[in-house]
Amino acid sequence: MVKIIVLLIAIVASIFECWAISLDSVFLNILVGLLLVIGNIIVQIALFFLVMLLIGLPINTKKENTHYSSFYRKVLTFAIRICLSLFGVKIKSEGLDKIPQNTNFVIVFNHLSNLDTLVMDVCLTEYPLVFVAKKSLFKIPFFGKMLHAIGYIKMDRGNIRQELKAIYKGIDFLNKNECSVGVAPEGTRNFTEETLLPFKVGCLHLATETKKPIVISVVKGTNLVKKNLLFARHKVYFKILDVLDYEEYQNMTRQEIASFIRNKMLEELESHEN
């Protein structure tokens, strides 16, 4: 839909511009018209990103953010919707009715691409939510500032002290009921032929220390979007598989919880492949 709107605006603007120029040659009119359409599309996209950059200017990334921001979450979600639509990404979601309505939660997911959390953000826009994200994402212009302002939790892999700090920040968000927290137990994107990487059970402290429900979800197809990015439609899937309440996992070890979650994800992902 966004592509169509952008194209229509570009065509209408180009018609008026061609009329103002009023060239005598039909061929030149057509050629100039096509160039103006392309130019107007580029201008619209450039203006969109310029506005997004201006919105991010007041954000001070050097100051630690300890609170969730619903305003910047809405800004980011709006920008994500525009970008995904421009690149032809169509999201299909299932099982959202399983999500707890009266409490925040820890949502876990498999990790295929940097698009995973963007897709989930769009699907879960009505829920206050931050994700545990690698620190390199916070360096991306505009996007990194938005993550910081929203309250995303920066994870410095390999730095034990910083990893613990990140987990405790997530625990604090959950205990204060500010927002829910999303984390990928694999710890990094899966570039292998394996369906899932081994899980890092430390992230489950987010749930066991706060007694919050664990929402088990999977994403599919996000790793394929980069193929023919501009010239093809891309279908991606997000599905809530199950919700594990505290009463169901309170007597389980973190390793047992991780095995339960992993088996749920494997069952869904492997059935999809078949």
pLDDT tens figures, 211-260: 999 999 999 998 888 776 666 778 999 999 999 999 999 999 999 999 99
Task: Name the burial class of residue 201, with classes exposed (0-12), middle (13-18) and buried (19+) by CB atoms within 10 angstroms of its CB.
Answer: middle
Contact 90, 235 (CB under 8 A): yes
Cα 230 from Cα 6, distance rounded (Å): 15
| pTM exceeding 0.85 | no
pLDDT at 31: 61
pLDDT recorded at residue 181: 97
* Model pLDDT, residue 1: 56
- Residue 211: count of CB within 10 angstroms of its CB: 14
**DSSP 8-state assignment for residue 212:** -
Map out the domains of the chain as residue ranges.
Answer: 2-55, 62-273
Mean pLDDT for back-to-back runs of 10 residues, the chain (274 residues): 59 60 58 64 68 75 88 90 83 95 95 92 95 89 88 83 88 95 93 92 94 97 77 86 96 96 94 60
Give the model's pLDDT for residue 74: 92
The fold of the 62-273 domain, in CATH, is Glycerol-3-phosphate (1)-acyltransferase (3.40.1130)
Backbone angles phi, psi at 89, to 5 degrees: -90, 120
For residue 152, the one-letter residue type is Y
Please report the beta strands in the chain, taking only residues with DSSP state E, as ranges in sequence order: 89-94, 106-108, 129-134, 153-155, 180-183, 214-220, 234-244
Cα–Cα distance between 8 and 1 in angstroms, integer? 11
pLDDT of residue 269: 92
Instruction: Report the alpha-carbon distance of residue 249 to residue 257 in Å, rounded.
Output: 7
